[in-house]
Amino acid sequence: MAGWLAPGADPAELGLLAQWSAVIALVDDVFDRHGQSPERVGTVLDELLDVLGAGDGNRCPMPAPPTVRVLAELWERTTRAARPGWRQYFLALYRDFAEAPRTETRLRARGARLGLDDYLALRRRTVTVLPVLAVVERTLPPAGELDGLRDAAADIIAWTNDLRSAPREEAEGTENLVAVLACGTAGYEASGTGTPARGLGRMCRGRAST
């Protein structure tokens, strides 16, 4: 994955990107575990945001959980070559991500389900693609005109992930885009669109062509 994101990077940079992907996937998996309370999710995220807010990775007490200590070390190495203002840009992205799992966990605790448009907007934020792309681009000049492309990349990765993990998440009772689409199964069948999974596959292909 790191090589795909930055094909011209040297081994040290590829290693850094791979470690970011691993840490983000680990944090994401923690939130996906059934039974996590909104309070516990908020505590974990606040610890991570404290590390990023320190700027140099030094705000990390020794009793901190392993994920927090790993992020502190990774953050210090990441910011060495970052362009001016990039830390604040990344922190804003990560704060936006951090609010999304809180929302998702609160909805899960209440047994509430979002409509399709609201779910797609939330899913783009929970997948953490945008912070990863920011790490890849941290030495480059800002390019706000590419925000639409970044959003499309986040959507495609999130949607295909939901398509692949639908059977497991259905068994766990976890919300998933396929499940959201399944609420309109009758509409799919009446229109000849097919199953929710097939509909999601078409959504992914359509998003990739935009």
Place of tokens 């804003």: 92
Which three-class secondary structure state does DSSP give residue 62? coil
DSSP state of 82: P
Are 19 and 71 within 8 A, CB to CB? no
pLDDT digits (tens, 9 = 90+) for 56-106: 555 566 677 788 888 888 999 999 989 999 999 999 999 999 888 888 888
pLDDT digits (tens, 9 = 90+) for 125-149: 988 899 999 999 999 999 999 999 9
Nearest to 133 by CA among 30, 4, 27: 4
What is the per-residue pLDDT for 133? 94
d(C-alpha 49, C-alpha 181), whole Å: 33
**In the structure encoding, which two tokens stand for residue 12, read together?**
């040290």
More confident residue, 33 or 139: 139
